[in-house]
């Protein structure tokens, strides 16, 4: 005997009711409204609802408003799990990043997640403290088990490239790192660190400084090496002296230590009139050391940072710095992955930073 199922009418609140297990209609429970319910409520086709949900411009404004109103009234939500079963697509991107709280990688992670979410995709994030091949291999295998459709690797250090190169992923991988770190089988994406350093140096030389001292980041970081290279190239191109860079880390504490030594030299008449710090944290430490020594910024020494961290405009004085466009970086990484998932062969991208001029730079004192 073939059993029959009784289809119940919509509940008074507009939500459809589930039929009972025995078909009698007893024990009814509300089911999630479907796209067909939205279409019926708005008086449009299923395809029109789909177009509204996907942001298509091919829907009249008044029709779009009716669909949106129906979605609100019914409390409709997309069933992503069901869609994945039908399409065999997970709509999920994996993101690998460092477990440190460094501003650049953290801001990049936020930008990637926001860009993916805007497109209706999910992100699965793995933070690792060590970029050895075994750790990266373990994370990538984890992503494979989640059926992610692509991976973004936020790769600040040398070990990252080597570890990613050792894993032959069957899905597209975008490697966000300085351009020198291009790895076979990955899609390279970077902010042009060399151009950023050149903007900082050019600004200081245009103000009349004879040369610029660079307080560099750790040299096992791609970005730090690119900033050194850009700084050196800019000085050489302008025929300015190229002093030996001071290699530090990324911390304000180390910037303070370096700044104390530089302050002694400046007060003795043997120090730089302009300093380019590899990031804003270093610049913060330098500024404090100069202030404690009685050196005025920018009257006695100009100071430029890199990144434009939140609060850089609140330094005393507000910090001139190179702004990295992290939002653009996130959007482009997702675009590149989408292109690759669609079967295209994206070649990568290089994004240009911008100089933000504030009150920490000025022409050198006369006679300096």
In this model, does residue 84 exceed pLDDT 80?
Answer: no
**What CATH number should be reported for the domain whose range is 17-76?**
1.10.260.40
Fold: same for 90-191+326-351 and 193-324 = yes
Q: Give pLDDT, residue 26.
A: 44
Q: Give pLDDT, residue 54.
A: 66
In this model, does residue 269 exceed pLDDT 70?
Answer: yes
Q: How large is the average pLDDT for residues 327-353?
A: 90
In angstroms, the CA 246 to CA 195 distance is 20
Q: Give pLDDT, residue 9.
A: 37
Q: Give pLDDT, residue 367.
A: 64
* Confidence band for 79, pLDDT divided at 50, 70 and 90: low
Q: How large is the average pLDDT for residues 275-292?
A: 98
**What CATH number should be reported for the domain whose range is 193-324?**
3.40.50.2300
Q: Looking at 3-12, 169-178, 210-219, 269-278, which range is the least confident one?
A: 3-12
Q: How large is the average pLDDT for residues 249-269?
A: 97
Q: Give pLDDT, residue 178.
A: 62
Greater confidence, 262 or 19?
262
Q: How large is the average pLDDT for residues 340-352?
A: 89
Domain boundaries, given as residue ranges, for the chain = 17-76, 90-191+326-351, 193-324
Greater confidence, 207 or 130?
207
pLDDT tens-digit readout, 203-223? 999 999 999 999 999 998 889
Strands (E), 37-183: 92-98, 122-128, 150-154, 173-176
* Confidence band for 291, pLDDT divided at 50, 70 and 90: very high
Q: Give pLDDT, residue 290.
A: 98
* Confidence band for 168, pLDDT divided at 50, 70 and 90: low
Q: Give pLDDT, residue 182.
A: 54
Query: How many CB atoms within 10 Å of residue 185?
Result: 12
CB-CB contact of 327 with 107 (8 Å): no
Check: CATH 3.50.50.60 for 90-191+326-351?
no
User: Taking phi first (over 0 means left), then psi (-120 to 50 degrees means alpha), and beta for anything else, what does residue 31 get?
Assistant: beta
Q: Give pLDDT, residue 25.
A: 44
Q: Give pLDDT, residue 288.
A: 98
Q: Give pLDDT, residue 6.
A: 31
In this model, does residue 3 exceed pLDDT 50?
Answer: no
Give pairs for 351-354: CB < 8 Å, separation 24+: 351/189, 351/190, 351/191, 351/192, 351/325, 352/191, 352/192, 352/195, 352/325, 353/191, 353/192, 353/193, 353/195, 353/196, 353/199, 353/322, 353/323, 353/324, 353/325, 354/199, 354/322, 354/323, 354/325
Q: Give pLDDT, residue 349.
A: 87
Q: What is the percentage of the chain residues whose pLDDT exceeds 70?
A: 82
In this model, does residue 86 exceed pLDDT 60?
Answer: no
Greater confidence, 185 or 309?
309
pLDDT tens-digit readout, 21-66? 344 444 444 677 888 888 999 999 988 887 887 667 788 999 989 9
Q: Looking at 95-99, 111-115, 217-221, 299-303, which range is the least confident one?
A: 95-99
Greater confidence, 17 or 146?
146
Q: Give pLDDT, residue 89.
A: 65
């Amino acid at each position: 005997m073939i059993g029959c199922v009784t289809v119940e009418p919509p509940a008074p609140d507009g939500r459809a009711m589930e039929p009972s297990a025995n078909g009698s209609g007893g024990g009814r429970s509300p089911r999630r409204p479907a796209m067909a319910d939205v279409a019926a409520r708005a008086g449009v086709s299923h395809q029109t609802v789909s177009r509204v949900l996907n942001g298509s411009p091919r829907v009249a404004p008044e029709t779009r408003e009716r669909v949106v109103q129906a979605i609100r009234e019914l409390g409709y939500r997309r069933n992503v799990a069901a869609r994945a079963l039908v399409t065999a697509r997970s709509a999920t991107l994996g993101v690998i990043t460092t477990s440190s709280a460094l501003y650049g990688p953290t801001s990049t992670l936020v930008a990637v997640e926001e860009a993916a979410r805007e497109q209706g995709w999910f992100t699965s994030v793995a933070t690792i403290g060590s970029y050895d091949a075994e750790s990266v291999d373990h994370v990538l295998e984890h992503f494979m088990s989640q059926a992610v459709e692509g991976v973004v690797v936020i790769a600040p250090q040398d070990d990252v490239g080597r570890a990613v190169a050792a894993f032959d992923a069957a899905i597209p991988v975008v490697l966000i790192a300085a351009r020198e770190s291009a790895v076979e089988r990955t899609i390279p994406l970077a902010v042009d660190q060399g151009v950023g350093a050149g903007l900082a140096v050019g600004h200081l030389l245009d103000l009349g400084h004879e040369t610029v001292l660079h307080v560099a980041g750790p040299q096992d970081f791609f970005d730090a090496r690119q900033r050194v290279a850009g700084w050196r190239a800019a000085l050489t191109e302008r025929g300015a002296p190229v002093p030996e860079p001071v290699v530090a880390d990324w911390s304000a504490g180390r910037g303070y230590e370096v700044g104390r030594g530089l302050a002694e030299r400046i007060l003795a008449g043997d120090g730089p009139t302009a300093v380019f710090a590899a990031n804003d944290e270093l610049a913060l430490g330098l500024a404090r050391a100069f202030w404690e020594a009685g050196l005025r910024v920018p009257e006695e020494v100009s100071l430029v940072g890199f990144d434009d961290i939140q609060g850089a405009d609140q330094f005393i004085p507000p910090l001139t710095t190179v702004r990295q466009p992290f939002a653009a970086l996130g959007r482009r990484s997702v675009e590149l992955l989408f292109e690759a998932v669609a079967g295209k062969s994206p070649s990568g991208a290089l994004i240009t930073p911008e100089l933000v001029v504030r009150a920490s730079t000025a022409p050198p004192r006369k006679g300096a």
